[in-house]
Structures are given as structure tokens and as C-alpha cells.
Structure 1
Amino acid sequence: MQSASGQPSIEIFELTIMEPMVTFTDLWITAVCLYAFYKLKKLNKKGKVHQYMRWYFSIMAVATFLGGVLGHAFQYAVGLEWKLPGWLISMLAVMAVERASIMHAQPVINDKFGKFLEVANVVELLTFAVITFTTLNFFFIQVHSAYGLGLIVLPLHFLVYWRTRNEGSRIFFLTVIFATLAAFFYTSEIGLHKWFNHLDLAHTVMAISMYCFYRGARQLEVLKPEDIKEDKGAFGDAVKEAIKGTAWWKKLVG
């Protein structure tokens, strides 16, 4: 049995598994998320930001597990509609990381704008959930993730970094940029081999991104008034400072 992605199925003890490497890389993301959740729970940092980040990793672990098992490995047995649980739960995870970013940025943004983002966060989730449920189209999951990460998480964390030089926000900002590679591999369908196709590459980027988000979450501190720099410097200078140096990747992953 061969899937739409072109990856052949395998049989283990007479049990057919579709897209085995795609399933494995999905479960790889699950493992990284569970590790991050366990370590952050053990760290036990207080505040809503850290609570939302723990939720993010735990919810994403569930989403990618269901995605791997129902959306890939046993898709032939359960049908297309069983992709929905993993898809919809992953949208909750994106909502959680958006919420964490909004909460973290509260000291450096206008109160009314912060409240607007919180309401928009819920409206956006409900809108894309309804569209996805009625269309069964993964495209809208991509749009939701692009909106959440590209238009909420990235600019908010860059703003926090610009105003405070918070290391956790620097890592989040760089990680979102790196994570765009996952969308590139997925949409361009560029793969290395039929046993490591475009989905496997996208999942690998996602797994690395999850670990980077975890490293960033460890360094998200409650911002105090004295952390906010009045002389924040030029926008371009902040970008250069965030990415400068040959060891930026080492800094990113800790």
C-alpha cells in the first residue's frame, strides 16, 4: 500500500503501517514535546506565561501522537475524517503559545492592544476550527499556524527582545524564523528519498523547533519595569544583535 506522499507501507506482525517514517518523525515531535513538558513542569516556574508554555508542549504532544497514528500509520483503516483530532488539537497548542507570547509581552505593549490580542486569539481559533472541520483541508491548519507564529509570536517576542534584550524572547524570535523551513519543505514537496520525504523533513524541522522553544521557555522571565530599556536602539540594530556572531545556532539551542 502506497500513500499520496509516495512512501510505501510496511508490515509488522501482519499489521500494515502506512507512511512509517512519516509516522516515526511525527512521534519524534511527540517525544520532544513530552521531554519539554516534563522538564518545564519540574522547573516549576510560576506565572501564566509558563503555565501556557507547559500546556503548549503537552497539547502538541497529544496532537502529534494522534497525527502520527490516525493521520498516517492507520489512515487506511480509519478514514480521512480521523485526521481532524490531531489537526484541531494542534490548533489549541498554537493558541497556547500565542497566549503565552501575549502575556509575556504585556509590560511592553498597550493594555488595550493586549486585550484585543487576547480576544482575537479566541476568535481566530474558532474561525479556523470551523473552516477546517467543514472542509477537511490541512491548508487551513497551515494558515492558522502561519498566523499564530508569524503574526503573533514572532513580532511580540522581537518587540520584547528589542525593549528588554530578554534572552528567551531572542530564542523564540529566531526559532520562528527557523521553523518556516518546515512550511517550505511541506509546500515545495522537497524530500531526500522516498523513505525520508518532504513530510519527514518538515517534521524534523518541527522537532528541532520544539526543542528550541523549550530552551527559550526556560529563559522567559517575568518582566519588570526596570527591564524595559528607554533607549532601545534602532530596529535594525536589534535585528543584527539578535542574529550576529558565528555561534548564533549554538546560542539558539543552548
Structure 2
Amino acid sequence: MDKPVTDLALVRACESRIVNAWPAPATLVIDDWVVRFANGYSGRANSASALQADAEMDDGTLAFIEKLYAEAGLPPRIRFTPLVAESARRRFAARGYRIETASFGMVAELDPARHPEDPEMLVDPLATEAWISGVCSHQTGNKRNREHLSAIVSGVRLPAAFATLLHEGRPAAYAMSVAERGMAEIGAVIVDESLRGKGLGKKLMLGLMGWAAAQGCILAYLQVDQSNGLAFEMYRRLGFRTIYAYETRVLDR
């Protein structure tokens, strides 16, 4: 059976917007790549991502990028999206880059009639201290660092929704969305572990899809870890379809 053809234009549209929706405090554009540094908070914001189809990287450029990450005290990471040229993939593999995580990129069509805004969802256009603290309180490791998360979300320069969902009067779930040119990224979805199974994740997602539709967006997009089967199935039931798969690969120092 022939391999399905990936819509590279749509992949590029998502990947370029991700850079703006989840901005790293330090960013360099090197040839067809964006190289990002965010104190180790999240793989996306601390990796090199292709911005063009068939993005190549020669040995000299790879060594230069690896040196930049070493100087920042971070391991070099490359996101193996469909935009990366096959020759570059082989080069990274030969250097010893191992798979750290594997994810799916998903999109869903938006319609204000089907995705109304949720009046019960608290939405702020800027990330508040309460939102940052709430997200970090449900994380582990470096992702508990409020200062590092704040450095990312405070850099958003586009219409944004930092959402908090209440359950029985207390914060129970968090997420964010950023709208850009007809598309809205939804990310940082966190549900209190003790309250899972109550439909809060679905309610939060529908609320943000409604917010995005109200911004005039026609597509919502997100990325989900391939090992997170429960989240993947929830997104699929909400109308999201997989448009690409990618790996984040890291070089151990």
C-alpha cells in the first residue's frame, strides 16, 4: 500500500505558528531552521525545528548548533518533522541522536455554531500568576519552575486565552490557546489528576475551541504525545485528525 501523502503546506503552517504560540526567550534562525532556548522547559522550546520543506543541515551547521546548546547547558535536540530532508535525518541518526519523545500533530475544523464560547471557563488574555502557579503545581521536574514557564508565556504577542476551568468552586484544569491568521494552537492542557474522568478535559477543550472560533479561526491545532492514548482519543472524538507524526531526538552529552 502506498504511504499517505503528507500535506506539507499544512505541516509548515502549524510548525511556524507553534514558534509564535510557545515562544522561547532566545531564538535564532539558522538557514531553514529555528533554534530555540528556554532554560530546558519543554522539548519544543529547547530544540531545533525545520521551517521549510526538505530542510537540510550540513555537518558544519550541525556542529555550530550543538555548540550553542552546549554553551547554554542544554543537550541539543532536533524535531524530526516531515519538513526535515531525508539526508539530514540520516546525518542526525549517524551522530547518535536518540528518540526522546514521539508526537502527533492534529487539526480540527472550527465553526462558531458548533463551538460556542463557554461562560463557565475563566479566560485571561495574559498569563496571570495564578494560572502559572496552577499549571506548575500539576507538573513534575523542571516543568514545576514558575520562572521558566513565565518566561515563555509572557512572550506571546498574539491574541491569547489562558483558561482555567473550575470544578465545585476550585481550579481543576488549565490550558491555553493562541490565535494567528485563521488558526489557533491549543496547548498546556492540564487536568487535576484527582479529578480526571469527569469530562473536564473535554469541557476545557470545547471552551477553547469556542474561543478560537470567536477569534475568526477556522482551524485548531495541537500536538499530543503518541503514548498518551486517552488524550489522543479525546481529541479524535472532538473532531481532531492526525496530519503528521514527528519525533524529538536528543544527543546525550
TM class by shorter chain equals: under 0.3
- TM-score under structure 2 length normalisation: 0.25
- TM-score under structure 1 length normalisation: 0.25
Q: Taking CA–CA contacts closer than 8 Å with sequence separation of 6 or more, which of the two structures ends up with the larger relative contact order?
A: 2
- Structure with more of its chain in strand, by fraction: 2
